[in-house]
Amino acid sequence: MAGIGIVAAQNAHFTQPLHLKGGGVLPAFGLVFETYGTLNAAKSNAILVCHALSGHHHVAGYTADNPANIGWWDNIVGPGRPLDTERFFIVGVNNLGGCHGSTGPASINPATAKPWGADFPVVTVEDWVASQARLADHLGIDAWAAVMGGSLGGMQALQWTLTYPERVRHALVIAAAPKLSAENIAFNDVARQAILTDPDFHGGHFYEHGVRPLRGLRLARMLGHITYLSDDQMAEKFGRRLRVGAGSYGFDVEFEIESYLRYQGDKFAGVFDANTYLRMTKALDYFDPAQDFDDDLARALARARAGFLVVAFTTDWRFSPGRSRELVHAMVHNGQSVAYAEIDSAHGHDSFLMDEPHYHAVVTNYLKRIKP
Amino acid sequence: MNQAIERADFDLIASWVQPGERVLDLGCGDGSLLKRLIAERGARGYGVELEGAEVLAAIGNGINVIQGNLEQGLAGFDDQTFNHVVLSRTLQTVRHTERILGEMLRVGREAVVSFPNFAYWKNRMAVMAGRMPVSEDLPYEWFDTPNLRFFTLLDFEALCAKMGLVIRERQVLDEAGRLVTEEPNFLGSLAVYRLGR
């Protein structure tokens, strides 16, 4: 079935200061967002889609200026798709600190009239949820029918149920974790070091030098990309195939996997902001709702009132099924409403973005619980 | 399993669940039993199911199903959290028999177990005639059956005695779903037990 067609971004500006978990205050901020479908009269059919590390507000459809600019989760949003725009009003938003139109490090700091750069505060998952609540207010949505996200987006969906238990009826937490492992933080730090040590980074104030730390950003993305795929998938897709007939015993691109990673790195570095990347990975590292509850996840989640769908993918080693089961076990301990599906998929962490029929059917079936 | 015996099995289990009780249904399939216990008995609970297609159906039935493998035990489920832990017509497919029975009574105050009786007279007839039984209730050939364990009422009760499990109640059904009172190990097609410690 065809998707939703041409979509356009909207902007909302908020002038009440936002107090951040890290201690800073944003005096004002803007969020860019897109909506699909129609908000019903009772405003009870709204679903918020939270994005992961590199995502943004353009979730579905394509922009008028570029039919190839298709939303990052278009395969799940649209008429007849799991997030059915005939039934639901879907909201996609670019997170605070992002680089796709919401206030972020490249925005102008009103105090200095220059780009924030390194001075833009580190924002957390909790801060994002607080800022998204302002957007819900702006749209007149008292309670989301559901909040949904994969990976870092799943953490936001979970946090919504904790910060605003009365404002979320269902949370779809996909390929996520209750907190990052040391190994996960380690991957993030290598990515950050690639950026921070790039001579073009200039301590985060590269905008005024007219350069961008492309090498660092590219390396960060290449590393990240390795961790989003599975070993099997890489073996199948690339194996040890060479781009040219035989090895040249040099260091140019030879193996297909090298070519692929460099392409992905270049593509990403061309469009993404290094300061945003640093902050997104920090938000991941800091997320740990159990921290304030003596590391007792069940106690941390006890205040949630939402129904949960937790989904994990068998080949995801960055956010493995075991991490999702920690969430599920805590919810079962609390007697909370939760369904858990562990999907067979070859695509590693990236599976949550794939058009996999069984996975999409699980989401469709779960959303039948929502009677707007 | 035919529908009559499935309904009779579920009728018995439903009659043992009191309103508001917590139930864990192991091998819950599409969640039909839990759906019924929730609707008719006001029960709350979860299902555990391994097969993706069944998990999908259970989610569609509004059931809180947890996808997982019973062979790995019930890690993640706390001690004594459920009033009833149900294993309906599934024990014969489980490899780690003693472990799952032990786990059921760890997380629940009562284990409800139903299974096909391989000593049912028709099965005995088939074996007497030289072939493994294939019927509406045992619809598999020996080479494609999901059943790993072939046991009878007497076998099961001997295991309960060995494990120190207390049989609180036993009901035996024939193929039509009628209660069997005499010669249950001969005339009974399906046995349903309530076990405790």
Mean pLDDT of chain A: 96
Q: Identify the bridge partners of residue A148 per DSSP, sorted by sequence position.
A: A49, A172
Q: Residue A365 corresponds to which tokens in the numbers above?
A: 């079936």
Q: Which segments of chain A does DSSP mark as H helices, in order?
A: 125-139, 152-163, 182-196, 214-228, 231-237, 256-271, 274-286, 297-301, 321-333, 357-367
Q: How far is A210 from chain B (nearest CA, A)?
A: 52
pLDDT of residue B1: 55
Residue B46 and residue A309: Cβ atoms within 8 Å? no
Find out whether A208 and A115 touch, Cβ atoms under 8 Å. yes
* Residues of chain A positioned with their CB less than 8 A from the CB of B66: 328, 332, 338-340
A137 catalytic, yes or no? no
pLDDT at B188 over 80: yes
> Is residue B60 within a helix (H) or strand (E), and if so which, with residue range?
helix B52-60
- Smallest Cβ–Cβ distance between B76 and the set A325, A342, A343 belongs to A325
Residue-level pLDDT at A248: 81
Q: DSSP assignment, residue A111? A: T
Averaged pLDDT for residues B15-36: 96
Taking contacts as CB-CB distances below 8 angstroms, the residues of chain A near B55 are: 341, 362
How far is residue A147 CA from its own chain's centroid?
12
Average pLDDT over residues A110-116: 93
Looking at this predicted complex, what is its ipTM? 0.94
Q: A316 an active-site residue?
A: yes
Q: How far apart are CA A67 and CA A63, in angstroms?
A: 6
Residue B166 pLDDT exceeds 90:
yes
Exposure b/e, A308-330, CB count within 10 A at least 16 = b: bbbbbbebbbbbbbebbbbbbbb
What are B64-106's pLDDT values in tens digits?
A: 999 999 998 899 899 999 999 999 999 999 999 999 999 999 9
Please name which of B88, B80, B92 lies closest in space to residue B48, comparing C-alpha atoms. Answer: B88
Nearest chain B alpha carbon to A326: B76
**Which of A308, A332, A351 is the best residue to mutate to test the B interface, defined by the most B CB atoms within 10 Å of its own CB?**
A332
Q: What pTM does this model have?
A: 0.96
Q: Which stretch of A177-181, A187-191, B101-105, B174-178 has the lowest confidence by average pLDDT?
A: B174-178
For an interface test with B, which of A328, A334, A351 has the most B Cβ atoms less than 10 Å from its Cβ?
A328
Q: Does residue A1 register a pLDDT over 70?
A: no
* Band (A250; pLDDT cuts 50, 70, 90): confident
* Tokens read off for A258: 């090298």
Buried-exposed string A238-265: b where 16+ CB fall within 10 A, e elsewhere: beeeeeeeeeeeeeebbebbbebbeebb
pLDDT in tens, A58-104: 999 999 999 999 999 999 999 999 999 999 999 999 999 999 999 99
pLDDT tens for each residue of B106-135: 999 999 999 999 999 999 999 999 999 988
Cα nearest neighbour of B68 on chain A: A342
Q: Do B66 and A358 touch (CB under 8 A)?
A: no
Is the pLDDT score of A251 beyond 90?
no
C-alpha dihedral sign at A343, A176, B27, A370: negative
Q: State what percent of residues in chain A have pLDDT above 70.
A: 100
Q: What is the mean pLDDT of residues A238-265?
A: 88
Active-site residue identified among A151, A230, A324, A351: A151
Q: How far apart are CA A339 and CA B44, in angstroms?
A: 13
Question: Active-site residue A320, yes or no?
Answer: no
Percentage of residues in chain A having pLDDT higher than 90: 94
Out of B64, B76, B78, closest to residue A339 by CB? B64
Please report residues of B whose CB lies closer than 8 A to that of A309.
59
Q: Which residues of B touch A341 (CB under 8 A)?
A: 52, 55-56, 59, 67
